[in-house]
């Protein structure tokens, strides 16, 4: 019973946070409806023998006065947060020369990607390490919504590469903390579970989770794809319809996702056409190249996000054959060179704690 109450409260709190992200034009009708229902409730309890004609406008006036004050305060805070975020984005660009980037080389996959999106995205490429290349894609506001995406390409055949996955299922913690603990040069978020709250559990968002040959969870289902790597880091993609709950050598390191979005080079159709912050993991046909895509979202003036099909198309253009969408929204973030380089979607612009994480460590 206690667990059900906690889950209900977590879901209620998550709903409230999401409602606050709605535009004011939508929040006010919802608030009006709730206030009207509240007035009816309080009238039945407290105003049976009083003048109802006065109680309704008094309560509504107090409610709207309070709502306007709160809304004004929120606008001020959002303005301050957006200003800080813009400074953060600017500092990321200005401080690139201080990062330990290797000389830029010709990267066939990214050249193909840039050619495919010529005129739509501005693409900047950096080699982070001989095994890791990063393409930052920026789409200005135009015919399509503004978007900012970060695509890392990892050479799994490079002997310096080590794959790191959260070693146990315990409490949630930050991707940056995981990366520092596991000495990762690059890391992304994994799964946050039922809600954004701590202790919420995985619920339906579970799958196969194996670290260095040790199974943490073997809960694959026909709803969840997963990505595996053997001891030599050769990758293999298991699409959602495949049910495999066995621990085998080809699954020495394994992490699950939420949905298939790219299968055998074909972008899958998806009815959800909304742009959103994304975390996507992909692999090429031979299992030698890993693709990690993070898309910023829910931030007008910076990035509103990408659709599932847009995200899949980007990975396909870069050479991926299969890809899965992972936990997204406020969870989506990318850690690189000792800091988060993306702008998380939560209103505070900070990381969200998650149960699992994925990273790349290099010698």
Per-residue pLDDT tens digits of the chain, which is 363 residues long: 444 554 565 556 566 666 666 665 666 677 667 666 766 666 666 655 555 555 666 666 666 666 665 666 566 666 656 666 555 555 544 444 344 445 566 789 999 999 999 989 999 999 999 999 999 999 987 778 899 999 999 999 999 999 999 999 999 999 999 999 999 999 999 999 998 888 899 999 999 999 999 999 999 999 999 999 999 999 999 999 999 999 999 999 999 999 999 999 999 998 888 899 999 999 999 999 999 999 999 888 889 999 999 999 999 999 999 999 999 999 999 999 999 999 998 866 789 999 999 999 998
Classify residue 99 by burial, with Cβ atoms within 10 Å: 0-12, 13-18, 19+. middle
Same domain membership, residue 136 and residue 29:
no
Number of domains the chain contains: 2
Cα–Cα dist 101/99, whole Å: 6
Q: Are residues 80 and 192 in the same domain?
A: no
Phi-psi group of 287: left, alpha or beta (phi > 0 → left; psi -120 to 50 → alpha; rest → beta) = left
Domain membership of residue 95 (yes or no) is no
CA dist 25 and 357 (Å) reads 37
Query: 105 and 42 share a domain?
Result: no
Nearest to 154 by CA among 15, 363, 360: 360
pTM of the complete model beyond 0.85: no
Contacts of 188 (CB under 8 A, 6+ apart): 175, 279, 281, 292, 294, 326, 332, 333, 334, 335, 357, 358, 359
For CA atoms 342, 346, 352, 354, the dihedral sign is negative
Q: Do 192 and 237 lie in a common domain? A: yes
The answer to whether position 208 is within a domain reads yes
Residues 251 and 133 both lie in one domain: yes
257 and 324 in contact (C-beta within 8 Å)?
A: yes
Task: Show which of 65, 90, 115 is a domain's final residue.
Answer: 90
Asked if residue 330 and residue 224 are part of one domain, the reply reads: yes
End position of a domain, from candidates 42, 69, 90: 90
Domain that holds residue 258: 100-362
Q: Do 45 and 74 lie in a common domain?
A: yes
Do 326 and 195 lie in one domain? The reply is yes
Indicate whether 84 and 109 sit together in one domain: no
């Amino acid at each position: 019973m206690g667990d059900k109450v906690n889950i209900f409260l977590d879901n209620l709190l998550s709903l409230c946070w999401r409602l606050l992200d709605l535009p004011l034009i939508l929040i006010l009708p919802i608030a009006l409806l709730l206030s009207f229902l509240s007035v009816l409730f309080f009238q039945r309890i407290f105003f049976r023998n009083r003048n109802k004609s006065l109680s309704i406008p008094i309560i509504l006036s107090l409610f709207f006065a309070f709502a306007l004050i709160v809304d004004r305060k929120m606008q001020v805070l959002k303005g301050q947060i957006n200003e800080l975020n813009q400074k953060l984005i600017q500092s990321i660009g200005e401080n690139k020369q201080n990062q330990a980037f290797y000389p830029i080389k010709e990267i066939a996959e990214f050249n193909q990607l840039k050619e495919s999106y010529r005129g739509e995205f501005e693409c900047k490429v950096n080699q982070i390490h001989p095994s890791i290349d990063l393409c930052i894609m920026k789409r200005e506001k135009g015919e399509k919504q503004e978007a900012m995406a970060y695509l890392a390409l990892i050479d799994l055949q490079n002997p310096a590469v080590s794959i790191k996955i959260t070693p146990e299922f315990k409490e949630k913690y930050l991707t940056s903390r995981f990366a520092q603990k596991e000495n990762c040069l690059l890391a992304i978020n994994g799964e946050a579970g039922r809600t954004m709250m701590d202790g919420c559990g995985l619920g339906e968002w579970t799958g196969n989770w194996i670290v260095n040959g040790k199974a943490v969870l073997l809960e694959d289902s026909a709803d969840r794809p997963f990505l595996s790597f053997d001891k030599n880091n050769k990758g293999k993609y298991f699409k959602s319809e495949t049910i495999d709950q066995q621990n085998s050598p080809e699954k020495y390191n394994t992490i699950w996702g939420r949905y298939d979005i790219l299968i055998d080079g074909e972008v899958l159709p998806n009815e959800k056409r909304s742009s959103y912050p994304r975390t996507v993991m992909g692999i090429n046909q031979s299992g030698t190249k890993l693709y990690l895509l993070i898309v910023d979202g829910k931030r007008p003036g910076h990035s509103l996000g990408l659709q599932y099909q847009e995200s899949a198309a980007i990975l396909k253009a870069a050479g991926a054959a299969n890809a899965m969408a992972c936990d997204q929204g406020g969870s989506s973030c990318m850690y690189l060179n000792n800091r988060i380089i993306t702008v998380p979607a939560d209103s505070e612009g900070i990381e969200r704690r998650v149960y699992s994480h994925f990273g790349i460590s290099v010698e």
